[in-house]
Amino acid sequence: MPRERTRTVFLCQTCGHESPKWMGFCPSCGDQSPLVEGPRGSRSTRQGWLATISESPRELSQVFPNEQERTPLAFGELNRVLGGGVVPGSLVLMAGEPGVGKSTLLLQTAGYVASTGSKVLYVSGEESAHQIKLRSDRLGFSGQGIYLLSETDVDEVVQHLEHSRPALAIVDSVQTLYTQDIPSGQGSVAQVRECALRLMRWAKARAVPLFIAGHVTKDGTLAGPRVLEHMVDVVLHLEGETLSAYRILRGDKNRFGSTNEVGIFQMGGKGLEEVLDPSSVLLSQHRNEAIGSANVPILEGSRPLLVEIQALTSPSILAVPRRIANGIDYNRLLMLTAVLSRRVGLNLSNQDIIVNVVGGLRIREPATDVAVALAIASSLRNAPLSPGMVGLGEVGLSGELRTVPQLQRRLNEASRLGFRRCLLPSATGEDAGGVEGIELIFSPTLSDALQQCLPGRKVSQTSDPLDEFVEERV
């Protein structure tokens, strides 16, 4: 007699790996949490999916894309990240930490589409219709054309979608959905995957764009279901410190456009507003000659943006001094502190160090290394950097400065905002080109950069201006 096949498998809650037997960790991604029992992907699911794409094969040359099909949405910044508007039938995942503004952005998008005379279905498993109404009053639209549904059963949701046929559908959030066909709890990998699949099947079959909100965990990954990122067409990440006003919308995956684009928003009393000239906003309170402050032109996607990095050092009362990184990577700060101690000779071993990016932005680029190091040294020496200057360069472990990409764009932005000097790694050489009105200063090492940029005291030819802070020379 043939053995009956197991109906369940064990799933990793992080990467979705399936195993026929239970294990205490995931052999695929190495996650140390035990696998959770869930149903095997059923055959009917596959047949249902195939039914929606029952076209015969077409030659590529016979396929005529229609750019006009994209629907522009409320904000230019959102359209930019989507690649010029939303494509019919696309499944867009709006990911972000709780409280960052996903529901606000989605409701504003719904409000805009409804104001053009189209019908929007807004499904919320998190908020009641009453709460959404309060929010829409605050955002300042009447709500005509927006149909609300407080429902968490995905099959019911699909039925309502099929029945009402909106021009845009929004589901907030995917973690609150469930289907009775799967025994595991709401928000588990199996549930989230199956619910997203059912929504996707509907969206593709009816060519309706569908936005789903998804929460991310503290470490920035989508809660549980990485599988979701593979499934959807577009993954947008809304980032920013909840307490600060600025939000960055990043395209992490886009089947219909570039992932190099970012949108910049500001959270205010009437929801999110786009920020059209972010550099000047971020630098509006900028004072020349501020101690512990350095400016750097970063690139957010393909967009140059001038940001101010501030550092504060203060004598520590703890045996192990604290390092606090707001907006930059913590490990990067530890690395720069180590380079400043060992290669430059600054005594930071008894100092607490706090680094902050003004405006609450999060920066990932190594091109900001020099600016962070300059800000720390400036605070330690209690002397401002030379006025009107920006610093660019990645710092290596031996204290050398490395070149950064797309210099011309960054220099243009610095020049536009009135900066007159730029510190660059010597290795940049001819590549720097040059921008009118900006004097270029080249440095081979971080140590040399500090000497050039912190001219606070008179320097004799033989003595190092930083000697008094030297702990040990290497």
What phi and psi, each to the nearest 5 degrees, are found at residue 378?
-60, -40
103 binds ligand TYD (CB under 6 A): yes
Cβ of residue 123: shortest distance to Mg ion, in angstroms?
12
- Contact status, residue 226 vs residue 15, Cβ threshold 8 Å: yes
Q: Which of 13, 71, 103, 188 binds Mg ion (CB under 5 A)?
A: 103
Stretch in the footprint of ligand TYD (CB under 6 A) among 15-23, 101-109, 281-289, 343-351: 101-109
Cβ of residue 36: shortest distance to ligand TYD, in angstroms?
25
Task: Considering only CA atoms, give the Rg of the chain.
Answer: 26
Binding characters for ligand TYD, 255-274, by CB under 6 A (x = yes): ------------x-xxx---
Query: What is the enclosing helix (H) or strand (E) of 354?
Result: strand 351-357
101 binds ligand TYD (CB under 6 A): yes
Contact of residue 267 among Mg ion, ligand TYD, none (CB under 5-8 Å per partner type): ligand TYD
Cβ of residue 150: shortest distance to Mg ion, in angstroms?
13
Q: Is 67 helix (H, G, I), strand (E, B) or coil?
A: helix
102 binds ligand TYD (CB under 6 A): yes
Query: What is the enclosing helix (H) or strand (E) of 44?
Result: helix 43-52
Cβ of residue 255: shortest distance to ligand TYD, in angstroms?
24
235 binds ligand TYD (CB under 6 A): no
- Contact status, residue 266 vs residue 337, Cβ threshold 8 Å: no
Cβ of residue 51: shortest distance to ligand TYD, in angstroms?
34
| Distance (Å) of CA 150 to CA 121, 131, 171, 186 | 11, 11, 10, 16
135 binds ligand TYD (CB under 6 A): yes
Cα–Cα distance between 452 and 439 in angstroms, integer?
A: 13
| Distance (Å) of CA 181 to CA 21, 89, 195, 471 | 21, 25, 10, 66
At 25, the amino acid letter reads: F
Cβ of residue 245: shortest distance to ligand TYD, in angstroms?
8
108 binds Mg ion (CB under 5 A): no
Read off the tokens for 448.
């040399």
Nearer to Mg ion, 103 or 293 (CB): 103
Cα–Cα distance between 282 and 285 in angstroms, integer?
A: 8
Interacting residues toward Mg ion by CB under 5 A: 103
Interacting residues toward ligand TYD by CB under 6 A: 96, 98-104, 135, 138, 267, 269-271
